[in-house]
Each structure stands twice: as structure tokens, then as C-alpha cells.
């Protein structure tokens, strides 16, 4: 197998990722690095950048050892595990093969921990002598200098210990599970990792799980669609050889196993993890959207993986906002947007795309709406629904804006009640619906025969394209797959609009009666058993934001807030 064959497959998979990898569509779009993820990927691959970090740590530590005080040097006399041995083992790791690296790493762990135990005893003794020395005496000054010298060496050793703690599992195991919620940027990060490694000629094979055939072992399926090998064992052997030649681990990366054949993945994973133990020069990286790992990976198999959490832009939230707003020529808000949605890369990207073509005044107004509450969310949801929905409608031959009507609800019979996703959620008092309910809610919007089969295709496309999202909810008999709006605030707001149909605005007294405890709107504001929160806090917030505009005609422009 040649790197050129891997490269061709990788570039094809990145193109198939589409808008999930924005730089693949627009090379000028913001592409911010998430430091913790980048570091984890470097360690699991035992890449040159990782070994360079080891060299830097070793140099810093050996410099501290050369400058160490006599107390430190005396303290290590007669100890087999000492700073000299630790420096030598770190140097060995810089050139060790992946197979050797695991054993070398175990030695580094042992020596670093035992050396630290010695240093802590020396440090404690020096601290006691410093405290006992008479104040303002030459002895106290000397003890203070000695204590600070020991602390400086302890700090250099502490850097080694922190490095060991953060990297240990990734070196000892060659299987990684990347977890994160919807829209956090897992696909983006893996595409970006693949592109970097392709440019550096590092052996890498990247694929999307949804592109693999169903009802077969996923790695055998990968061989079929890629044409790189006849079976899984040959594919892994070839990747292992490429890793050995580079003196690092080749990476096999499969994204979004929750979007592939989940049953096939659950059956295959235990044996696949065992098989990977035979190939020290390869690492497997799988990504899965939470909480679908509960359905796909058994607890026993999960323990064989190193779990890496993807938290979107959580580490660089404000930097990301400024970068995206600047790229799309959008004025930054006076106050940073701090609700959880804005740390999701996909959400931030969609927000910017939704308002980039507005006038400067329009951009200011929408940013203000996003910062102040739900109104901006509705604008964004409608934009996304129409933008993504247009492709679905074209591909499946549906009337324009059918997807948006399905989401927000609409009357399909003259004078009839609204039907669709949001009305059904409002009726059921849930922020989710089952797959069966979802397809049934779509059917009234479809013309002609075979509506059920078409509804299933529409439902799957609406989820695949991101208009809705899958989730699993625990019920009495175990986990069940359900469908909900991709962002909680979207769902709360659009469901609340249907509940507000129960608001009687004929007079002030009818408005008040609409919120009685036995009425649908009153039910939203009922308190939980602890009496610390509303039964439906998200819906309560959305209703309170919508309320003033609904009652202004009756109560005037004064006290229109619901609390009034």
C-alpha cells in the first residue's frame, strides 16, 4: 500500500463530510485549533511533534538537575530511580519504536513517581528547617534560598509528572473513542487531523461510518469501499508496516459510528479492539455522538478505549466568536454570547451564515436579538430549515418550505389544527418524539400514495442533514431512540408558540385565567416537588419572552411582562 492510495481515499472522505468540515468548502473560513485535542492526537500517534515535546521537557529537566542544590543531590545518593535515569529514559522515548515506547513509558512512570517521592521528602525537611530558623538571621536567609532551589527543581519534575499523567493511557493503549454532543465539531477535528497528517506524509486512513456498507464487519466493509485490501487483517498489516517505516503509529480514523450500522459496530468492536493489540504501529480513533455510545459499546469494551471528550469551543469560546464574526464581517456584540450553544462550532458557523448578507443595521439588530433571547433563535432556525430543507425538498420532489412547515407545524386542512413536529411535542408535553411519531407527523404534508415510505425517507434526511437530531432516552425497558430539535432553546421556543394558542387575550381577566393551574399554560409554571424550579423551565422562559407582544393590545405598552 502506498501513501498516495491513502491520500486519495482521505480526500474523498473529507469531501463527503461536506459542511461539517468548513475549510473543505471554504479554505478561508476560521479553523481554530483546540489545544487539548491536538495534544491527544499527537500522543496517540507518537508523532514527531510529540517526541519534540518530550525533548523539550527533558532538556528543561536536565538543566534543573545540573543546577540542583546539594540537598537534592545528597537526597538521591543510593537511589536507583533518580533524575539521571529519568533523563536517560526520556531520551530513549524520543527515538523508541511504538512497540518499545510502551515499555519505555512504564519505566518513565516508575522513575518519575519514585523521584518525586524523594523530592517531596527533601522539600518537607527544608520547609521545616526554614520555619525553625531564627527570624532575620543569616541562617534563615540561607534556609530560604535552599528551600526555593528545591522548589524550583520540584517544579521541573512536576512538569514531567503532569505530562506522564496526561499521556499515559494514550501511549499504553492504541484505541481512542472521541465523544461529544451534536454540532461540537468532532468531524471537523478529525478531517483537520487527517489533512495535517496527509501534508506531513504520515500514514492515515480516514472514513465516515455512514459510507460503510450495512450488515458486515465495519473494517471488512472499509476494505470493500476503499479497495485498499481484500480483508481487515491485510489492511491492518499494511497500515502497521507503514507505521513501522515512519517509527510512529499509523492512524485508522472512522468518524460518527452512531451514523453507521450500530448493530454491526456493537458486534464487531470487542474482536476489533483485541485485533488492534496485535498491531503496535497502528492506532484506532473512533468518534461517536453522545449518548449513542451507550447503545453501541458495551461497558466491558468501553474500558479498552481511551475516552477523549470533545467540548467544542469550550476552551476558546470568546476567541472563536470574534474570529467567526470578523471573517463574516459581523459586528461583535458588546457583551460576549455566553449561552452553551455558542460554544458549538456548527451553531456558530450557521449563525454567521444566516446573517452575513444582511445590511449593517440588520446585522446589529440580529446580534442584539441573539444576545437578548429567543427571537434571534427563531430567525436562525427558520434560516437553517429553509437553507438545508431546500436540498431535501429538491432531492425528494417536495414543495418549497415543506421542511419548515413540518418543523414549526402548519394546518394541512382548511380550518384544521396545526400538525407537525412542534405541535406534537406541545401536545405530548415532551421536547422529543419517537421515530414512529416523527414519520406519522410528516405524512400529512406529503401528496399521493406510499406516503409512509416517503415519510421515512424525509425523516431520515431531516436528521442526517441536521434539521433535527437523534438522541437516546432512558425509559423503563432501557434506552430508546428519539428525535428532538438540535438545540434546546430552539425547541423550547417553537413549542412555546403552540402552547400560547391557549392564551386568551380578550381581556385582562381572561389572560390571568389562561395561567390557572388547570390550564395548559399554567401547567408550564407549576413547581417541582422541591419547589425550587418550574416543571418546564425552558418553556417558561420562552413563554415569558413571547408574552409581551401577545398582550400589548389589551394591557397597553406599560406592564406587559408576564411577571406584572
Mean pLDDT is lowest, of 283-287, 524-528, 554-558, for 554-558
Look at the block and give the residue holding cell 468518524.
255
* Residue 25 lies inside a defined structural domain of this protein: no
Indicate whether 186 and 251 sit together in one domain.
Answer: yes
* Distances, alpha carbon 132 to alpha carbons 74, 126, 129, 143, in Å: 21, 10, 5, 10
Residues 177 and 305 occupy one common structural domain: yes
Residue 28 forms part of a structural domain: no
d(CA 282, CA 249): 5
Are 455 and 439 in contact by the 8 Å Cβ rule? The answer is yes
Among 540, 392, 484, smallest CA distance to 181 is for 484
Domain that holds residue 249: 3-17+173-309
Cα dihedral 518, 522, 528, 532 sign: negative
Across the chain, mean pLDDT equals: 89
Per DSSP, 410 falls in state B
pLDDT band at 346 (very low <50, low <70, confident <90, very high): confident
Q: Is residue 366 part of a domain?
A: yes
| Contacts within 8 Å (CB) and 24+ apart, 134-139 | none
What contacts 365, CB < 8 A, 6 or more positions away?
none
526-557, pLDDT tens digit by residue? 888 888 888 888 899 888 888 888 888 887 76
Residue 498 lies in a domain: no
Domain co-membership, 294 together with 261: yes
204-214 per-position pLDDT tens digit: 999 999 999 99
Residue 560: pLDDT band by 50, 70, 90 thresholds?
A: confident
In the chain, the percentage of residues whose pLDDT exceeds 90 is 57
**Distance in angstroms (rounded) separating the CA atoms of residues 537 and 533:** 7
What nine digits make up the cell of 87?
A: 533523563
Query: Which helix (H) or strand (E) is 432 found in, with range?
Result: strand 432-434
Give a yes or no: residue 402 inside a domain: yes
Q: What is the pLDDT of residue 25?
A: 61
- Flag whether 563 is in a domain: no
CATH of the domain at 254: 3.40.50.300
Q: Are residues 467 and 428 part of one domain? A: yes
Rounded mean pLDDT, 284-306: 94
pLDDT mean over 437-462? 91
Q: Which residue has the cell 493511557?
A: 169
449: left (phi over 0), alpha (psi -120 to 50) or beta: beta
pLDDT tens for each residue of 82-136: 999 999 999 999 999 999 999 999 999 999 999 999 999 999 999 898 888 888 8
The contacts of residue 96 (CB under 8 Å, 6+ apart) are 104
> How far is the C-alpha of 2 from the C-alpha of 243, rounded, in Å?
12
Per DSSP, the residues of 66-91 read: HT--HHHHHHTTT-SS-HHHHHHHHH
352-381: average pLDDT: 77
pLDDT at 444 over 70: yes
Dist. CA 365–CA 359, nearest whole Å: 10
Give domain status of residue 256, yes or no.
yes
Question: 197-206, 233-242, 374-383, 390-399: lowest mean pLDDT where?
Answer: 374-383
pLDDT for res 373: 58
528 vs 274, more confident? 274
Name, in order, each residue with C-beta under 8 angstroms of 251's C-beta and a sequence gap of 6 or more: 44, 45, 193, 197, 202, 203, 204, 205, 282, 283, 284, 285
Residues 197 and 302 in one domain: yes
Phi-psi region of 328 (alpha: psi -120 to 50; beta: other; left: phi over 0): alpha
Q: Are residues 133 and 190 in the same domain?
A: no
Q: What is the mean pLDDT of residues 176-180?
A: 96
Are 484 and 395 within one domain? Answer: yes
Do 302 and 183 share a structural domain? yes
Task: Specify the pLDDT at position 183.
Answer: 83
pLDDT value, residue 1: 65
Query: In terms of pLDDT, which residue wins out, 267 or 336?
Result: 267
Q: How far, in Å, CA of 549 to CA of 283, rounded? A: 57
Q: Given this model, what pLDDT does residue 344 score?
A: 83
In this prediction the pTM is 0.83
Beta strand ranges found along 228-335 (DSSP E): 250-255, 282-289, 306-309
Contact 444, 405 (CB under 8 A): no
Number of domains in the chain: 5
Looking at the chain, the whole-number percentage of residues with pLDDT higher than 70 is: 98
Supply the DSSP symbol for 418: P
Q: Which residue has better confidence, 561 or 310?
A: 310
What whole-number distance in Å separates Cα of residue 349 and Cα of residue 19? 10
Q: Are residues 61 and 114 in the same domain?
A: yes
> pLDDT tens digits for 128-162?
988 888 888 888 888 888 899 999 999 999 999 99
pLDDT digits (tens, 9 = 90+) for 465-518: 788 988 888 777 777 889 999 878 778 888 998 999 999 999 889 999 999 988
**Which of helix, strand or coil describes residue 217?**
coil
- Whether residues 126 and 227 fall in one domain: no
Nearest to 446 by CA among 390, 405, 415, 505: 405
Distance in angstroms (rounded) separating the CA atoms of residues 442 and 454? 9
- Asked whether residue 533 is assigned to any structural domain, the reply reads yes
Amino acid at each position: 500500500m502506498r501513501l498516495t492510495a491513502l491520500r486519495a481515499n482521505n480526500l474523498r472522505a473529507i469531501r463527503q463530510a461536506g459542511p461539517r468540515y468548513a475549510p473543505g468548502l471554504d479554505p478561508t473560513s476560521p479553523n481554530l485549533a483546540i489545544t487539548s485535542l491536538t495534544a491527544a492526537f499527537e500522543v496517540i500517534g507518537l508523532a514527531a511533534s510529540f517526541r519534540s515535546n518530550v525533548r523539550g521537557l527533558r532538556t528543561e529537566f536536565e538543566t534543573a538537575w545540573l543546577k540542583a542544590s546539594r540537598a537534592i543531590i545528597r537526597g538521591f545518593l543510593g537511589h536507583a530511580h533518580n533524575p539521571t535515569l529519568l533523563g536517560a529514559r526520556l531520551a530513549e522515548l524520543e527515538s523508541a519504536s511504538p512497540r518499545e515506547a510502551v515499555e519505555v513509558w512504564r519505566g518513565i512512570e516508575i522513575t518519575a513517581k519514585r523521584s518525586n517521592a524523594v523530592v517531596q521528602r527533601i522539600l518537607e525537611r527544608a520547609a521545616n528547617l526554614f520555619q525553625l530558623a531564627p527570624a532575620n538571621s543569616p541562617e534563615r536567609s540561607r534556609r530560604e534560598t535552599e528551600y526555593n532551589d528545591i522548589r524550583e527543581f520540584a517544579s521541573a519534575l512536576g512538569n514531567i509528572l503532569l505530562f506522564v499523567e496526561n499521556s499515559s493511557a494514550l501511549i499504553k493503549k492504541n484505541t481512542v473513542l472521541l465523544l461529544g454532543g451534536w454540532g461540537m465539531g468532532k468531524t471537523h477535528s478529525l478531517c483537520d487531523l487527517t489533512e495535517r497528517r496527509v501534508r506531513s506524509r504520515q500514514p492515515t486512513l480516514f472514513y465516515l461510518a455512514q459510507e460503510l456498507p450495512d450488515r458486515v464487519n465495519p473494517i471488512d466493509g472499509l476494505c470493500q469501499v476503499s479497495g485498499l485490501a481484500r480483508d481487515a487483517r491485510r489492511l491492518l498489516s499494511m497500515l502497521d508496516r507503514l507505521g513501522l517505516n515512519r517509527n510512529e503509529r499509523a492512524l485508522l480514523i472512522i468518524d460518527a459510528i452512531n451514523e453507521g450500522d450500530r448493530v454491526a459496530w456493537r458486534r464487531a468492536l470487542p474482536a476489533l479492539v483485541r485485533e488492534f493489540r496485535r498491531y503496535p504501529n497502528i492506532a484506532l480513533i473512533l468518534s461517536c455522538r453522545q449518548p449513542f455510545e451507550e447503545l453501541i459499546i458495551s461497558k466491558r469494551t468501553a474500558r479498552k478505549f481511551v475516552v477523549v471528550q470533545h467540548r467544542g469551543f469550550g476552551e476558546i469560546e470568546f476567541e472563536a466568536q470574534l474570529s467567526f464574526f470578523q471573517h463574516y464581517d459581523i459586528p461583535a456584540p458588546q457583551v460576549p454570547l455566553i449561552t452553551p450553544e455558542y460554544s458549538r462550532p456548527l451553531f456558530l458557523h450557521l449563525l454567521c451564515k444566516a446573517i452575513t448578507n444582511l445590511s449593517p443595521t440588520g446585522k446589529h439588530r440580529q446580534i442584539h436579538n441573539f444576545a437578548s433571547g429567543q427571537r434571534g433563535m427563531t430567525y436562525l432556525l427558520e434560516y437553517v430549515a429553509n437553507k438545508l430543507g431546500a436540498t431535501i425538498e429538491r432531492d425528494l420532489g417536495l414543495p418549497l418550505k415543506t421542511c419548515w412547515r413540518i418543523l414549526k407545524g402548519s394546518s394541512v386542512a382548511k380550518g384544521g389544527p396545526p400538525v407537525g413536529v412542534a405541535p406534537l411535542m406541545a401536545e405530548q408535553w415532551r421536547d422529543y418524539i419517537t421515530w414512529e411519531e416523527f414519520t406519522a407527523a410528516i405524512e400529512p404534508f406529503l401528496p399521493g400514495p406510499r406516503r409512509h415510505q416517503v415519510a421515512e425517507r424525509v425523516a431520515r434526511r431531516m436528521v442526517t442533514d441536521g434539521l433535527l437530531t437523534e438522541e437516546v432516552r432512558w425509559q423503563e425497558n432501557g434506552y430508546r431512540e428519539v428525535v428532538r430539535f438540535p438545540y434546546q432553546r430552539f425547541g423550547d421556543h417553537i413549542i412555546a408558540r403552540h402552547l400560547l394558542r391557549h392564551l386568551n387575550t380578550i381581556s385582562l381577566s381572561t389572560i390571568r385565567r389562561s395561567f390557572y393551574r388547570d390550564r395548559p399554560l399554567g401547567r408550564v409554571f407549576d413547581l417541582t416537588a422541591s419547589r425550587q424550579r418550574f416543571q418546564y423551565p425552558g418553556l417558561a422562559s420562552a413563554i415569558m419572552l413571547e408574552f409581551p407582544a401577545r398582550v400589548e393590545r389589551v394591557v397597553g405598552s406599560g406592564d406587559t411582562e408576564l411577571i406584572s
